[in-house]
Amino acid sequence: MAQICDRCKKETIVTTMSMFNIQNCCPNCTEKERAHPKFKEARAVELEQLQAGNYNYEGIGLPDDLKEGTP
């Protein structure tokens, strides 16, 4: 069953939760996110939050250069 990527709005079969926010992203958007310089920071902060028991953590925020429509 096809889904829509929360970030690029394209149809996809597979999504992954963003490390920056609560968006579900297609493989293409996930690849761009993983290449971002702040990805390691976002991952580390999420792990800290989970270990502290915060299972509703919403991420450090999506960097402007990953927002759809940004060159």
Domain boundaries, the chain: 3-64
Percent of the chain with pLDDT over 70: 96
CB 42 within 8 A of CB 60: yes
Structure tokens at 13: 């079969």
Residues 6+ apart with CB under 8 A from 37: none
Cα separation, 26 vs 37, in Å, equals 19
Considering the entire predicted model, what is its pTM? 0.86
Range 21-44 average pLDDT: 97
Q: Residue 70 has what pLDDT?
A: 58
